[in-house]
Structure 1
Amino acid sequence: MIDLTQKVLTDHLHYDDASGRLYWKKRKPGGPFCRDSHVNSWNTQRAGRPADAFVNKEGYRQVTLMRRNLLAHRLIWMMAHGEWPITIDHINGDGTDNRLGNMRNVDCLENSRNRPVQRNNSSGVLGVSWSKSSGKWIAAIKANGKTISLGSFDDLAEAAAVRAEANRLYGFHQNHGRTRAGKEVSGHE
């Protein structure tokens, strides 16, 4: 099996930084991916078309190359930097936005510090929940492997402000806890 090097990728894929998309390049006879008899057919059907049209269930663009399903953002990073990334963080939270300016190579911990509010979050604020027993908003943060209580509050806005300050103090990304596009969040009534 052929290794996916920077050269192999750039020989077969074109990256458009303005859109963050990958497109198939024309294939040449004698290339590693298809027999010479199939080159003209392949070029007619696919050359110049998006290689990353499929979006997987996790919301990331995917490319099938050498019978392998590969994440487009990882291929783009390799094409641009010549090395495979540890983990790609999409800064704006949109896994289909593969512009280089929207991606950063981080470890898993750093990537977890740029997450949106979970879909089942009723307060709309990451790390803030309603306590039925106390009738207050509870703020907490998980940092350095431990859950740290930040206090209980009568007001959701106050709990959210304390959590936002904790995010800053513990080095979380400024987008951490952002709301998902189109998500309606209902607080305690």
Structure 2
Amino acid sequence: MKKSIQNIFCVGRNYAMHAKELNNAVPTSPLFFSKPTHSIVEATGQSVTLPGNQGAIHFEAEWVVHIGRAYSPGAKADDLIDAMALGVDFTLRDTQTILKQKGYPWLAAKGFLNSALLTPFMEFPGLKACSKTDFTLHINGREVQRGNISDMIFNPQSLLDYCGQHYGLGEGDLLFTGTPAGVGKVTSDDRLTLIWGSTVVGEATVRLN
């Protein structure tokens, strides 16, 4: 399922246990940041090159939605979303720590080339159906993250409303909805496998340059 991609919106700290594992306060409103479209790379079994000389790179597996029409007040998530995928928000963690300490934007830590790994798009069956299925990330055959959209601090409808009202939300926009607990460091030659329920939906091998 091919889809055009416009803006890439991402949500930070949307699972309480993830905020806790990084010693971050649980937010009282959604925390949004963005990635350039050049950060997107497909998880179709290939190798993905990431910077190996800028400190630790962490994986953050996420449920991702594709917006099929422009947001308007009162629009329902089931009508706005026309496809979904799984993704990995790669993060230069050492860089992000320095940026946070200085109060600087996160672009250098979040927006580098290939920092948004994305599986092929899948049919979106509706929020109720999605809440009955876990998504997982395996590295080298071992499960490292497991999430379910029902565990989000801010549910998908709240995220779409907040984004639409504050930043705009239109056809082709992507929303990375936040990562569950279990984030950690990737190393060269790690094999990442993204699984929806029991179905493998994307894979890639990390290469650090």
Same fold (TM > 0.5): no
Higher relative contact order, structure no. (Cα contacts within 8 Å, ≥ 6 residues apart): 2
**Greater CA radius of gyration, 1 or 2?**
1
Higher helix share: 1
Given the two structures, how large is their TM-score scaled by the length of structure 2? 0.23
**TM-score with structure 1 setting the length:** 0.24
